[in-house]
């Protein structure tokens, strides 16, 4: 007989009942199969159910929920002495909780609360040893704060020449910082499952812990959180002059590959011991151009600041040269040729051959004031909103 599925069309399947004598043995096997299957199914259902419950029982936004009074107590009513500086999204204060734990509190400008809660729940899920740890939030009336772990060793920008706290580290620590930032960025881009583009990676957004381990900061809020948005074009250019990839100036195109560019610039800064925006050499070339020229002339050794990097033996020199080569791959003008961050991590930690970089892209700022001018591929683009 043909089974009819109610929509008027006969099923192509033909159901045939085969009758055969069921022995007791078959019955026992069938029954135990059924019971076993049912038990497994029940276990799976229970597991799924408890997982859902586990997720629900966490706070709706994730992380801790701090009361405003707790933050007022921790910062002596947000006093000037506790003010650490102002980041991309707001003023940052240092606080000490009643249990003596040190925290950093970022005050946000007023924003849509629903959107903020959604973003905070995403940020709360980001946990990696090379990201500054997110501890929680405080949304009370019109006051909005995010709370992070406090790191005592300041940001990487204090370790370059020309900074008040110019400090030297040994090569092992420098290499560890470079690899740490690469791992943190790999996590944001690929391993977090959220395709996060940082958009403003620079030394002042890399904090160092007491062992000089690198932790990326300011990865929260107003970032691209998914693939559709990770290539988004935007008129109001985020990012910081010098670290921002040429295509971000030209087309406002932020992507994981523009973060890779910023990473490359940071590595070059470490190598020469100078910040890109204060970089000086006899030929008046920019940092990227300077390193590229020396690379092309096979004189990489000349760009390494051996004293700043604490370079001693030949092996360390080779590791530093390798870092230069990887950095030049990251700042290539053609963004499709820039490696992904997991490849960068791989290049940095393996003895395998690193490809030869092609020409870098960079923006040259004319001497004196006036907006910096972008001259990539002989196309000159004026920058409308210089930021530093
Ligand atoms: C957080 O705490 C405040 C009061 O301190 C409360 O009004 C709010 O509902 C809490 N939010 C969550 C998500 O628990
Ligand atoms: C804030 O400090 C005051 C006085 O030291 C104390 O009475 C109060 O319990 C503290 N509040 C919180 C939320 O820690
Ligand atoms: C804290 O600061 C605010 C304004 O900055 C002020 O109105 C308030 O009175 C201060 N509270 C205390 C306890 O000093
Ligand atoms: C400046 O450029 C010339 C020619 O390209 C080169 O020989 C020289 O080494 C450069 N000097 C520096 C400090 O880069």
pLDDT at 174 over 60: yes
What per-residue confidence (pLDDT) applies to 85?
Answer: 77
The radius of gyration of the chain from alpha carbons, rounded to an integer in Å, stands at 28
pLDDT value of position 102 = 94
Task: Please state the rounded mean pLDDT for residues 251-261.
Answer: 90
Please write the tens of the pLDDT for every residue from 350-379: 878 899 999 999 876 544 433 343 333 323
Which of 121-125, 265-269, 383-387 has the lowest average pLDDT? 383-387
Residue with the bigger pLDDT between 119 and 135: it is 135
The response to whether residue 70 sits with its C-beta less than 6 Å from ligand 2 reads: yes
Q: Which CATH number fits domain 64-149: 1.10.10.10, 3.30.200.20, 1.20.1270.10, 3.20.20.140?
A: 3.30.200.20
pLDDT tens-digit readout, 95-110: 999 999 999 998 887 6
| CATH number assigned to the domain with residue range 156-383, chosen from the 4 options 1.10.510.10, 2.40.50.100, 3.30.70.1400, 1.20.1440.230 | 1.10.510.10
Could you tell me how many residues make up the chain? 388
Looking at all shown ligands, the one closest to residue 293's CA atom is 4
Q: Which residue has the higher pLDDT, 233 or 31?
A: 31
What's the gap in Å between 357 CA and the centre of ligand 1?
A: 52
Distance CA 302, CA 285 (A): 15
How far does residue 102's CA lie from ligand 1's centre (Å)? 22
Tell which residue, 258, 214, 221, has the closest CA to residue 240.
Answer: 258
The domains of the chain are located at 64-149, 156-383
Task: Of 106, 212, 105, 101, give the one whose Cα is nearest residue 154.
Answer: 212
3 state SS of 231? coil
Strands 373-376 and 143-149: unpaired
Q: Where are the alpha helices (DSSP H) in the chain?
A: 24-57, 68-74, 113-124, 171-186, 227-230, 246-251, 256-272, 287-296, 306-309, 314-330, 341-349
Residue nearest to atom 2 of ligand 2 (CA): 73
Active site residues: 200
pLDDT at 31: 58
Q: How far is the CA of 85 from the centre of ligand 1 (A)?
A: 27
Ligand number nearest CA of 282 is 4
- At residue 68's C-alpha, the angle toward residues 225 and 98, to 5°, is 105
């Amino acid at each position: 007989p043909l089974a009819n599925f109610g929509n008027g069309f006969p099923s192509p399947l033909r159901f045939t009942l085969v009758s055969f004598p069921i022995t007791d043995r078959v019955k026992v096997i069938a029954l135990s199969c059924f019971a076993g299957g049912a038990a497994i199914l029940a276990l799976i259902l229970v597991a799924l159910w408890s997982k859902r419950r586990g997720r629900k029982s966490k706070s709706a936004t994730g992380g801790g929920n701090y009361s405003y009074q707790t933050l007022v107590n921790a910062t002596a009513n947000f006093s000037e002495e506790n003010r650490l500086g102002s980041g991309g999204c707001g003023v940052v204060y240092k606080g000490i909780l009643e249990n003596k734990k040190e925290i950093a509190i970022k005050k946000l400008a007023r924003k849509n609360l629903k959107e903020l809660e959604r973003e905070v729940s995403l940020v709360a899920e980001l946990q990696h040893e090379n990201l500054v740890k997110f501890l929680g939030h405080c949304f009370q009336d019109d006051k909005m704060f995010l709370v992070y772990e406090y790191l005592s060793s300041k940001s990487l920008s204090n370790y370059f020449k020309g900074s008040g706290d110019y400090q030297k580290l040994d090569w092992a620590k420098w290499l560890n910082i470079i690899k740490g930032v690469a791992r943190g960025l790999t996590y944001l881009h690929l391993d977090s499952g959220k395709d996060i583009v940082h958009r403003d990676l620079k030394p002042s957004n890399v904090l160092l812990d007491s062992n000089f381990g690198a932790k990326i900061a300011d990865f929260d809020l107003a970032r691209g959180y998914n693939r559709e948005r990770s290539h988004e074009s935007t008129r109001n250019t985020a990012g910081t002059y010098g670290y921002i990839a040429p295509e971000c100036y030209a087309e406002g195109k932020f992507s994981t590959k523009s973060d890779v560019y910023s990473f490359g610039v940071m590595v070059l800064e470490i190598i020469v011991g100078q910040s890109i925006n204060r970089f000086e050499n006899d030929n008046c070339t920019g940092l990227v151009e300077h390193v590229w020229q020396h690379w092309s002339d096979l004189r990489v050794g000349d760009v390494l600041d051996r004293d700043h990097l604490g370079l001693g033996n030949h092996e360390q020199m080779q590791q530093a040269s390798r870092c230069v080569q990887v950095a030049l791959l990251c700042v290539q003008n053609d963004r499709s040729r820039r490696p992904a961050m997991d490849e960068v991590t791989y290049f940095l930690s393996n003895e395998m051959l690193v490809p030869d970089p092609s020409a870098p892209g960079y923006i040259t700022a004319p001497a004196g004031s006036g907006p910096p001018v972008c001259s990539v591929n002989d196309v000159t683009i004026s920058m409308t909103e210089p930021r530093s």
